[in-house]
């Protein structure tokens, strides 16, 4: 009888161990799935950040181009303003001295 009790006890312990092992395996599988999802989410976030960084770099390059164009236009406007002021001074001088002879520009 003791042998039967021992065998039943060992068998019962084996069943409990198998159930515990199965529960542990299921828990590990679930945790692994959650970890894989977290890793995938992080990678998606990194990819989105990379896209945004790339877009920011493109926009910064466009800003530099526009700044260069703006500086060029400001320079052109200043040049035209200077020429206009010179023509205005010349027109004022001609009104004050109508008999003044102006040099003709060679072409």
For residue range 21-57, what is the model confidence (pLDDT) as tens digits? 999 999 999 999 999 999 999 999 999 999 999 999 9
When pLDDT is cut at 50, 70 and 90, the band that residue 103 belongs to is: low
Residue of higher predicted confidence among 101 and 21: 21
Which alpha helices (H) appear in 2-103, and where do they start and end? Answer: 2-96
Helix (H, G, I), strand (E, B) or coil at 101: coil
Distance between CA atoms of 5 and 65, rounded to whole angstroms? 89
Give the CA distances from residue 27 to residues 30, 31, 70, 90, in Å, rounded to whole numbers and listed in that order: 5, 6, 63, 93
Q: Whole-structure pTM over 0.75, yes or no?
A: no
Residue of higher predicted confidence among 29 and 11: 29
């Amino acid at each position: 009888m003791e042998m039967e009790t021992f065998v039943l006890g060992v068998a019962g312990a084996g069943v409990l161990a198998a159930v515990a092992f199965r529960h542990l395996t299921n828990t590990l599988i679930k945790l692994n799935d959650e970890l894989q999802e977290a890793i995938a989410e992080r990678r998606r976030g990194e990819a989105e950040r990379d896209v945004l960084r790339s877009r920011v770099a493109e926009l910064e390059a466009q800003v530099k181009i526009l700044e260069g164009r703006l500086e060029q236009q400001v320079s052109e406007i200043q040049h035209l303003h200077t020429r206009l002021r010179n023509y205005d001074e010349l027109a004022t001088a001609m009104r004050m001295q109508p008999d003044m002879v102006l040099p003709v520009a060679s072409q």
